[in-house]
Amino acid sequence: MSQWIAVYSFPLSKDLGALVGFIQRYQLPLRIVEEKNRQLLLTVDDHFGQMLKPLLQRWEAGEINFDDVQLQRVAPGDSPGSGVTGVQPPQRPEPSPESRTGNKPAGSPPASPVLPVFPLIRTPVSLVLIALCFLGWVLLANNSANVLLITPDQGGSPLFVQSSLAWHLQHGEYWRLITPAMVHFSLPHALFNALGIWILGRPLEARAGSLAFVALVVLGAVISNLSQYLWESQVRFGGMSGVVYALVGAVLVIQRWQPAWRDVPTGFPAAALILLFLCALGIVTFFTGVGVANAAHIGGFLSGLVIALVYCALGGARKFNPDATFARKL
């Protein structure tokens, strides 16, 4: 009876679908079992297993794809059980003169930017923010969001101590400095800001880490909400736009500090700034009839610039080096 030998082990979270397809395609003498919270790859041919191990290491590191790997076959019986004599991993092609100089041949299509796929587990705060956008909209639609908003100031007193915000703070309701960011006045409003968090927030959180990202979000929310209240305290306001513009400011700073970082398309922050300009001029309100919290947008954007400048000056920009590795799977 053949003795199965463990060749390699993988964590339970590792998707081995590509490896299973590779085994089935070449009918390899391998099997996969779960044992002691690991996935074990077993073989009856220890020599073949040792030959395969470097290939498995490169695949687990994300350097190769099993679809590109070829095996050299021999007649059955010439090699113990496996019917193969060697493994040919994909070879990296020599760079062409055009790629070395940065010039493309005439008529070649432009390179398409590839957006990274971040593991969901690396961006929990962004996912929570997206959920809060819709939760705030649902609460407002059910008249349950007043506890999250800053009550509009109807007194008209120029003294801050007599303002509605001062009353909230005197009664310990400090959360109102942040929670207006949750409340959205329409579903498109929530969708628009959720999209901004997805495009801008997840790349920032995946690279900088959740703790630094929380600091950016909280400070951006507080500054944008305070800016809007101090500018127009008689009007009820809400939405994640101030936080989104804090992310825009942070992305702009980091992309200039680390020019090779392109997890966020460069055109997106530029489009956001154009929209900010159009809103500030009143053009968006004129055509849509929707009020815009311009002070929140500007305050959030400026806070993002300053926070990112401090972060990069303290060495945080190194995390946005494209050579920094992290898992890229869902």
CATH number for the domain including 136?
A: 1.20.1540.10
In contact, 82 and 91? CB cutoff 8 Å:
no
On whether residue 288 sits in a domain, the answer given is yes
Q: How far apart are CA 116 and CA 60, in angstroms?
A: 18
Catalytic site residue from 82, 224, 233, 297: 297
On whether residue 17 sits in a domain, the answer given is yes
Mean pLDDT over 21-36 rounds to: 81
**Residue 133 and residue 67 share a domain:** no
Q: What CATH number does residue 78 fall under?
A: 3.30.70.2080
Q: How far apart are CA 310 and CA 305, in angstroms?
A: 9
Q: How far apart are CA 212 and CA 246, in angstroms?
A: 13
**Residue 50 and residue 154 share a domain:** no
Catalytic site residue from 82, 163, 233, 241: 241
How crowded is residue 149: how many other Cβ atoms within 10 Å of its Cβ?
A: 19
On whether residue 73 sits in a domain, the answer given is yes
On whether residue 209 sits in a domain, the answer given is yes
**Residue 205 and residue 164 share a domain:** yes
Pairing of strands 38-43, 70-73: unpaired
For 188-199, write each residue's pLDDT tens digit. Answer: 999 999 999 999
- Domain range holding 83? 5-88
Helices (H), 142-234: 164-170, 187-196, 202-208, 210-231
Q: How far apart are CA 204 and CA 201, in angstroms?
A: 5
pLDDT of residue 60 exceeding 90: no
pTM for this one?
0.65
DSSP state at residue 112: P
**Residue 170 and residue 78 share a domain:** no
In the residue annotation, 126 being an active-site residue is answered as no
For 195-254, write each residue's pLDDT tens digit. Answer: 999 999 999 999 999 999 999 999 999 999 999 999 999 999 999 999 999 999 999 999
**Residue 135 and residue 54 share a domain:** no
On whether residue 205 sits in a domain, the answer given is yes
Domain boundary pick from 88, 112, 128? 88
**Of residues 189, 193, 191, the one with CA closest to residue 247:** 193
Band the pLDDT of 168: cuts 50, 70, 90: very high
In contact, 142 and 173? CB cutoff 8 Å:
no
DSSP state at residue 322: T
Number of domains in the chain: 2
pLDDT value at position 79? Answer: 46
Q: In one letter, which amino acid is 217?
A: V
**Residue 281 and residue 215 share a domain:** yes
On whether residue 236 sits in a domain, the answer given is yes
Domain boundary pick from 41, 67, 88? 88
Q: Which of 78-82, 157-161, 193-197 has the highest mean pLDDT?
A: 193-197
SS3 139: helix
Q: How far apart are CA 324 and CA 330, in angstroms?
A: 18
Report the DSSP beta bridge partners of residue 73: 84
Tokens standing for residue 19:
């490896």
In the residue annotation, 241 being an active-site residue is answered as yes
**Residue 164 and residue 290 share a domain:** yes
